[in-house]
């Protein structure tokens, strides 16, 4: 089978070509100045499509007879985990940004554009808004504000399945706590194949990360607004992009932070330790949510390459369950694997109906 996988990020479009049982990956880089010239994510569509087409031509794969094209899922309406056929309701919600604007919203639209030109199906896999949360996990403590499921679902599910294979078990048999540690940090309680509780790292929930604030003292935030220090729009930008480590140390590069800490920078050391501390607390809370029945803790994402972060978290939570480390992201692999499951008939593709009960059927 020949499968094309497309994974748009903020300043790159990652590409995977699955051919003759072999996966070749690449990253098409987009200079920040070029990306920032667009007023919205969807305005980047033609720009990214042109660069994707150029990559496919230059690597002599543009004429391959694709069996399917699969894109990273975006911020659509809450849906269960699975592989979704890209059709008009999904495309509309991706373009409208019904749950927010993110580069991932381009994944399904780009996949559909390529697939339509070849007369083959397009899919998205495990969008970041998959919602399998327990009802009890939704309550925030204030009526009218509900905790939302929005996380690194594609990579979390991929590494959870990988650890299950290592253990010789089925993912649906295990209780795992999976922590994706990148520019944002999300930790999910995977109970027998369902993510029953998870923090919304994009919108200010959970541990702080290199660029996100995580949960903040509410009264402190309200006082900033009262004083006119920030508008609500500015605060949203800080929560999602200019909080966390960046707000303390003016960098999001944890390699730099680790080097500064090792060099005796007391502030860098404290900030690094505080982030590790908050990650460990989040894991501990999820262990309690699972009543202590945890088969493993999985650390993944770019920060899992850093020894200081991994070992710091392991020291604090190793008593709960064995710790497995899967550095980096496996999103391209997860996209291809999802398409293969559908094409081989081992999993049926779901049809997105705009957040209605049909999505949960």
Both 207 and 112 in one domain: the answer is no
Both 243 and 99 in one domain: the answer is no
- What pLDDT sits at residue 241? 86
Q: Nearest CA to 13 among 76, 103, 86?
A: 103
- What pLDDT sits at residue 360? 42
Both 195 and 80 in one domain: the answer is no
- What pLDDT sits at residue 204? 87
- What pLDDT sits at residue 32? 83
Both 188 and 312 in one domain: the answer is yes
Judge if pTM exceeds 0.85: yes
What is the domain range of residue 38?
2-130+331-360
> Can you give the C-alpha Rg of the chain in angstroms?
20
Both 273 and 149 in one domain: the answer is yes
- What pLDDT sits at residue 191? 98
- What pLDDT sits at residue 250? 96
Query: What's the CATH number where 75 sits?
Result: 3.30.420.40
Helix spans in the chain (H): 32-35, 45-58, 88-96, 105-118, 135-138, 153-166, 218-227, 232-241, 244-249, 254-262, 266-289, 307-317, 331-343
Both 158 and 196 in one domain: the answer is yes
Q: Report the C-alpha gap between 185 and 82 in whole angstroms.
A: 22
Residue 34, both tokens: 């070029």
Both 209 and 304 in one domain: the answer is yes
Domain count, the chain: 2
Both 161 and 258 in one domain: the answer is yes
Both 76 and 124 in one domain: the answer is yes
Both 31 and 172 in one domain: the answer is no
Both 43 and 91 in one domain: the answer is yes
- What pLDDT sits at residue 352? 97
- What pLDDT sits at residue 11? 87
Both 177 and 323 in one domain: the answer is yes
- Residue ranges of the chain with pLDDT lower than 50? 357-358, 360-361
- What pLDDT sits at residue 355? 57
What residues pair up with 300 in beta bridges, in sequence order? 180, 326
Q: Report the C-alpha gap between 280 and 286 in whole angstroms.
A: 10
């Amino acid at each position: 089978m020949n499968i094309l996988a497309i994974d748009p990020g903020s300043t790159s479009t990652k590409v995977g070509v699955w051919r003759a049982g072999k996966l070749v990956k690449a990253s098409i880089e987009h200079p920040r100045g070029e990306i920032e010239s667009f007023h919205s994510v969807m305005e980047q569509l033609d720009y990214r499509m042109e660069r994707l087409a150029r990559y496919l031509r230059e690597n002599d794969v543009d004429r391959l007879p694709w069996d399917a094209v699969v894109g990273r899922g975006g911020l659509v309406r809450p849906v269960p985990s699975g592989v979704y056929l890209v059709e008009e309701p999904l495309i509309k919600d991706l373009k409208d940004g019904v749950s927010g604007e993110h580069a991932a919203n381009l994944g399904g639209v780009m996949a559909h554009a390529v697939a339509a030109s070849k007369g083959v199906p397009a899919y998205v896999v495990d969008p970041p808004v998959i919602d399998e949360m327990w009802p009890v996990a939704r309550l925030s403590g204030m009526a009218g504000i509900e905790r939302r499921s929005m996380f690194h679902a594609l990579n979390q599910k991929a590494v959870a399945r990988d650890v299950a294979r290592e253990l010789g078990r089925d993912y649906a048999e295990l209780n795992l706590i999976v922590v994706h540690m990148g520019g944002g940090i999300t930790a999910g309680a995977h109970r027998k194949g369902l993510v029953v509780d998870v923090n919304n790292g994009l919108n200010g929930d959970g541990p702080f990360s290199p660029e996100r604030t995580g949960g903040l003292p509410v009264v402190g935030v309200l006082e900033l607004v009262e004083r006119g220090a920030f508008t609500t729009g500015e605060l949203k930008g800080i929560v999602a992009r200019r909080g966390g480590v960046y707000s303390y140390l003016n960098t999001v590069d944890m390699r730099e932070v680790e080097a500064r800490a090792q060099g005796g920078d007391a502030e860098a050391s404290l900030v690094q330790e505080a982030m590790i501390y908050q990650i460990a607390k989040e894991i501990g809370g999820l262990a309690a949510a699972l009543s202590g029945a945890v088969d493993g803790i999985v650390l993944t994402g770019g920060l899992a390459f850093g020894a200081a972060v991994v070992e710091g978290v392991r020291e604090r939570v190793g008593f709960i369950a064995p710790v497995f480390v899967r550095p980096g992201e496996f999103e391209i692999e997860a996209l291809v694997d999802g398409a293969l499951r559908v094409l081989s008939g081992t999993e049926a593709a779901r049809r997105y109906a705009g957040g209605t009960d049909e999505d949960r059927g």
